[in-house]
Amino acid sequence: MPHPLPLTPDDPAPSRLTIHLARRALTMVPDAAPLDDAAVAVRGREIVDVGPRRAVLKTCSGTVLDHGPATLMPGLINAHCHLELAHLRGAIPPGLGFAGWVRRLLSLPMRGFDQDAATAAVREMAASGTAGVADIATRHPGRTARILKREGLAAVVFFEEFGFTPPTGPDPDFPADLDGLAAGEAVQVSVAGHALYSTHPDRLRAAKAWTLRHARPFSLHLAEHEGEVRLLRDGTGEFADLLRERILPRDYRPPGRSPVAHADALGLLDAHTLAVHVVHVDDRDIRTLVSRGCGVCLCPRSNAFIGVGQAPWDALFPAGARVCLGTDSPASNHDLDLWNEVRYLFEHWKNCTLAAVLAALTVTPARTLGLGKTMGMLAPGMRSGVTLLPGDIADA
């Protein structure tokens, strides 16, 4: 079985060309057929040429790597991760339910930043073919961004707004560790709202407005668990009790809506929003997400690890939702290998198709995260790098 090509930092000799040969290439270019007897020429991370091997070898010269019967494809995009929690890998047992998982998380050290753990997590992603990531950072977005930049991954690092204090102005209170991080590079910074149940509505609106002004994506945990649904519907349940202990203001009143309906009423849903999880949604919610053009990030193994149920895959994909895949954090998953998310879907969803999941790993998250000009496809000028489709998934 072919293993994913490890995607390593940009070549220190940027003029050196590597030509990957394989039986087939899936370019992920819309409406393009699979390319047989394929070649992809790459300089660093930038794709220089894609085509039949004879044509590419005639115009390009460099180190040739022949992968035999394998299938080449663009590097993957992990659409949801929390690298700040990399030091908590294995610290929380599975199956606690969301309230139990949160209680355990809050009992663990959260304030510091483990540089070594975060670096190891980024290298783990790269080793399994991930070329880009959407990472959520509550305290140290600059440190995370610099690790991703150093390790050669493209990224959107979301500084996460959290808490029920209203915003003090139109701009987020960005941490000082973002100072000096250049804009417009492969690693960009944007703003996310943590969740409807943990963040003041005005803070969420302000964060969304900032992303629109700066043409950046917006991310939000949405409809992840039943406790969120109950809190927003009528303010009851174990999770509501936990939030009253920790964060909810005394005058909190539930909006009486589903999470998706409430997010829509706040003006948070559009084509530049990535709604993460969407486990507890009904047909009306799905129609709203599709009509607004939202990206939808599924994290199936994290949902299974915590024990919150699973998103309605059979409804989301046929409805035309812009589905992406993410691993979520090392505190709620066994590893950061996106191919294991795909394997989980094939094992648990009888209608899963290769075309659907490959789009959810490449071109769809690239477009949703504003990376579509540089990521998600095998085409000249793209900086997706190249990886291999694992044989067991190709044959699924």
Which two structure tokens, joined as six digits, stand for 166? 């209203």
340-379 pLDDT, tens digit per residue, is 999 999 999 999 999 999 999 999 999 999 999 999 999 9
Model confidence band, residue 60 (pLDDT cutoffs 50, 70, 90)? very high
pLDDT tier, 8 (very low <50, low <70, confident <90, very high otherwise): very low
**pLDDT (0 to 100) of residue 259:** 99
- Which amino acid would we find at residue 382? M
pLDDT in tens, 278-321: 999 999 999 999 999 999 999 999 999 999 999 999 999 999 99
Which 8-state DSSP code applies to residue 278?
Answer: -
Res. 387 pLDDT band, cuts 50 70 90: very high
Residues 6 or more apart whose Cβ sits within 8 Å of residue 94: 304, 305, 306, 307
pLDDT tens sequence across 171-201: 888 877 776 665 557 899 999 999 999 999 9
pLDDT tens digits for range 9-39: 445 455 689 999 999 999 999 999 999 999 9
Count of other CB atoms within 10 angstroms of residue 48: 19
Q: Is the pLDDT of residue 250 over 60?
A: yes
DSSP state of 362: T
- Confidence grade of residue 2 (pLDDT, cut at 50, 70, 90): very low
Task: Indicate the pairing of strand 46-52 with strand 295-298.
Answer: unpaired
Give the span between the Cα atoms of 48 and 46, in whole angstroms: 6
- Can you read off the two tokens belonging to residue 89? 């890998």
Which pLDDT score is estimated for 1?
Answer: 37
Side-chain-side CA neighbours of 281 within 13 Å: the count stands at 32
Would you say residue 265 has pLDDT above 60?
yes
372: its two tokens = 């579509």
Where does CATH 2.30.40.10 sit in the chain? Answer: 18-74+383-394
Q: Which fold has domain 18-74+383-394?
A: Urease, subunit C; domain 1 (2.30.40)
Structure tokens at 112: 């510091």
pLDDT of residue 5: 59
**pLDDT at residue number 333:** 98
Q: Is the pLDDT reported for residue 239 higher than 80?
A: yes
pLDDT score at 181: 66
Give the pLDDT score at 168.
Answer: 85
**3-state DSSP percent of the chain in helix, strand and coil, to 5:** 35, 20, 40
For the stretch 83-126, pLDDT in tens is 999 999 999 999 999 999 999 999 998 778 999 999 999 999 99
Question: What is the identity of the amino acid at 226?
Answer: E
In the chain, what is the greatest distance between 2 CA atoms, to the nearest angstrom?
71
What is the homologous superfamily of the domain 76-368 according to CATH? Metal-dependent hydrolases (3.20.20.140)
262-to-30, 265, 362 alpha-carbon distances in Å: 34, 5, 29
CA angle, corner 99, sides to 268 and 90, nearest 5?
100
Q: What is the pLDDT of residue 183?
A: 54
Q: Whole-angstrom Cα distance, residue 385 to residue 322? A: 23
Average pLDDT over residues 215-225: 98
Asked which of 2-6, 136-140, 285-289, 360-364 is least confident by mean pLDDT, the reply is 2-6
The pLDDT mean for the chain works out to 93
User: Above pLDDT 70, what percent of the chain?
Assistant: 94
Burial (Cβ within 10 Å: 0-12, 13-18, ≥19) of residue 318: exposed
The segment(s) of the chain belonging to CATH 3.20.20.140 are: 76-368
- The closest of 124, 276, 128, 125 to 194, measured between CA atoms, is 276
Pairing state of beta strands 386-389 and 71-74? antiparallel
What does the pLDDT average to over 381-387?
91
CA-CA distance, 331 to 85, in Å (whole number)? 6
Strands (DSSP E) contained in 101-198 are: 130-137, 154-161, 187-195
3-state SS, residue 199? strand
